[in-house]
A and B are shown apart, each in its own frame.
Chain A
Amino acid sequence: MKKLTCLGLSVVMALSLLAGCGGSGNNTASNTTTNTNTSASQPASTPDNTKLSGTISTNGSTSMEKVILTLNEQFGIDNPDVKVSYDPTGSGTGIEAAKNGTADIGLASRGLKDEEKAAGLKETVLALDGIAVIVNAQSNLEDLTVEQIAQIFTGEITNWSELGGADGEIACIGREGGSGTRDGFESITGTTDKCVLAQELTSTGAVIEAVKNNPQAIGYASLSSVEGKDGIKALTVNGTACTEDTVLDGTYAIQRPFVLVTKENEPLSDVAQAYFDWATSSAASELIRSAGAVPVA
């Protein structure tokens, strides 16, 4: 009994000892990580300038997920000591994160508003993206005009039969307030704040999933995310299909930019700047195209 209590006691003591060490160890660990992060911005300290190392954080638009993850991965392959993270939170959060410095680069699938620029933020267009209008694959509808889309989303047209489809009440699926896709869609179709939605979802994937599961649904989502997805189909708008070519030459009406958001006056860390330069150069064009968006560089 005594021995066992001793044993139990020593385990507890050892644990609490370890715990104490660990606690302070963590703090120093976090300090050193931040130190390495900041020291990474002084390449003079490292003799080999071409070898980048460190971490970069990107945060924002869920529409940009495919593009950004592809870029991040390739950059990680090219520079094995660099890790680029991406948080799919939405354009609004991404811009906020760039502003208060919780992310190196903010991602927005819309241009910055004037007040955001006034707050010291800078936008760099990475690519263009079409907003595909999607319906369930079972729908027999093929084409809508921008006016018809606006009428559907504002509730003027409520039944598919009014558009030549099978009888059924239209369920409009939209995005949440901070979404860049919503901003782009509503400003182009002229339905800002006038949409009557059956569902308001918080991510690109969720919209696609909802349209896939509801034969009466209509929604909108980034072209890059829609390509190759089963169970849904993208409608032609004003007779033009949503493809990379039609987005680039401007014939597809509903499109918006993918934007990298950085601070105007604060330089990026060296490694983040290298990433930024690479992503906006023509070297990344092929990757952006492979992810379904339309590169501008």
Chain B
Amino acid sequence: MEQLSLRRRLYDRGLRVLLYLCGALVCALLVFLIGYIFVRGLPRVTWELVSTQSSMIRGTIGILPHIASTLYIILVTMVIVLPLGVGAAIYLTEYASNRKLAAIIEFAAETLTGIPSIIFGLVGMMIFIQTCGLKAGVLAGSLTLVVMILPTIIRTTQESLKTVPQSYREGALGLGAGKWHMIRTVVLPNAVDGIVTGCILAIGRIVGESAALLFTAGFGTVLYSFKEALTNSSATLTLALYLYANERGETDVAFAIAAILMALTLVINMAAKLAGNKLKQK
């Protein structure tokens, strides 16, 4: 090391300091963002806020309807997207004999993941609301999200299916198992950790989505039962945040919702990690 010239040592140091700075800056940004949101938001998170619906007459604000519709949307979307996405992925990796077709579908799915979500919202409004005549609500919102999330689910499932060694499949088939039996008993159980992680991340994406729901889920602030919510405008937490920050100028409430959303995202990401590790271990 001592043979290095002064110039080179300085250069080396300088670069190192710069890189440290980059790292520190990123960390500082993250800490600042999380801290700022929690400091501004958490004091406004009260029991009244999360357990009631807004009342114009009494002048109170509550976000229970938005929590409910967020849960409804997660439920409906996952219930539709899971069998579709996992099924498509199984077909693409295990059955599709036409490699070219499979490649095209994979390419399409990959391209779809990169499309800005507002476009899904616009198309969703055109198709589900204007053409199919659904009213803005959980169902229209969920169907839009299904289209949006389907490629993600297909990709993550495919990736985890590909990690299952080919020899497992050959072994199962060699022992006389049928193809579906082989997939069901050998391939899927070995890929389940990836699928579950993908699903949890997809839920995270649903929770955080606003643009695709802007036109399709509506801005309703009334608490509905599950059945009513399907076809009645119900704002999710993200839409409620937009609503309170933009339309009402209630920045405090918006920050309270932001804090709740942050906490929720944190929990979801941790759950994804945990589930992935747990399922991989066995």
Contacts and interface: CB of A to CB of B under 8 A. Distances in A.
A83 B228 contact: yes
Given A16-B83, A73-B56, A9 B249 contact: no
B113 to A, nearest CB: 22
Contacts of A13: 184
Contact of B188 (A9, A65, A83): A9
Contact of B247 (A11, A12, A204): A204
Interface string A63-85: 00110011011101000000111
Given A205-B246, A205-B247, A33 B233 contact: no
Interface string B123-144: 0000001100111100100000
B190 to A, nearest CB: 7
Contacts of B57: 70, 73-74
A273 interface: no
Contacts of B260: none
B214 to A, nearest CB: 10
Of A8, A13, A74, A84, chain B has the most CB atoms within 10 Å of the CB of A8
Nearest to A22: B79
Interface in B211-232: 218-224, 226-228, 230-232
B218 A87 contact: yes
B206 to A, nearest CB: 15
B136 A26 contact: no
A57 B232 contact: yes
Contacts of A85: 218, 220-222, 232-234
Interface residues of A, number: 56
A87 B220 contact: yes
A102 B188 contact: no
A12 B189 CA distance: 8
Q: Which of A16, A33, A66, A89 has the most CB of B within 10 A?
A: A33
Given A19-B80, A204-B247, 9 more contacts: A6-B189, A30-B231, A55-B231, A73-B55, A73-B56, A83-B224, A83-B228, A83-B232, A206-B246
Interface of A: 1, 4-6, 8-9, 11-13, 15-16, 18-20, 22-23, 26, 29-30, 32-34, 37, 55, 57, 59, 62, 65-66, 69-70, 72-74, 76, 83-89, 100-103, 202-206, 208-209, 212, 229, 291
11 contacts: A16-B86, A30-B231, A57-B135, A65-B248, A73-B57, A74-B57, A86-B220, A88-B247, A205-B246, A206-B246, A229-B249
> 8 tightest CB-CB pairs across the interface, nearest first?
A22-B79, A85-B220, A5-B189, A69-B56, A205-B249, A209-B249, A4-B282, A19-B83
